[in-house]
Amino acid sequence: MTSNRTTSLTGWTVGVIGLGLMGKPMARNLHRAGATVVVHNRSRGVVDELAGEGMVAAAGPADVAARAETVILMLPDTPAVAHVLLGDGGVISGVGPDHLIIDMGTTAVTETREFAAAVEAKGGAYVDAPVSGGTIGAEGGTLNIMAGGGEAAVARGEPLFAVLGKSVVHVGAVGAGQVAKAANQVIVGLTIGAVAEALTLARRAGVDPARVRQALRGGFADSRILEVPRAHRQGAGR
Catalytic site positions: 181
Q: Which residues pair with 15 in a beta bridge?
A: 38, 71
Contacts (Cβ under 8 Å, ≥6 apart) of 108: 78, 178
- Pairing status of strand 131-132 against strand 125-128: unpaired
Of 69, 163, 77, 167, the residue nearest 119 (C-alpha): 69
User: Closest Cα partner for 122 from 145, 159, 90, 78?
Assistant: 90
The 3-state DSSP composition of the chain as helix, strand, coil percent (nearest 5) reads: 50, 15, 35
- Half-sphere exposure of residue 62: CA atoms within 13 angstroms, side-chain side: 7
What is residue 180's three-state secondary structure? helix
Q: Tell me how many helices (H) and strands (E) the chain has.
A: 10, 9
Q: CA torsion, points 63, 67, 71, 74, in degrees to nearest 10?
A: -50
Virtual torsion, Cα 128, 133, 137, 139, nearest 10 deg: 70
**How, if at all, do strands 131-132 and 100-103 pair?**
unpaired
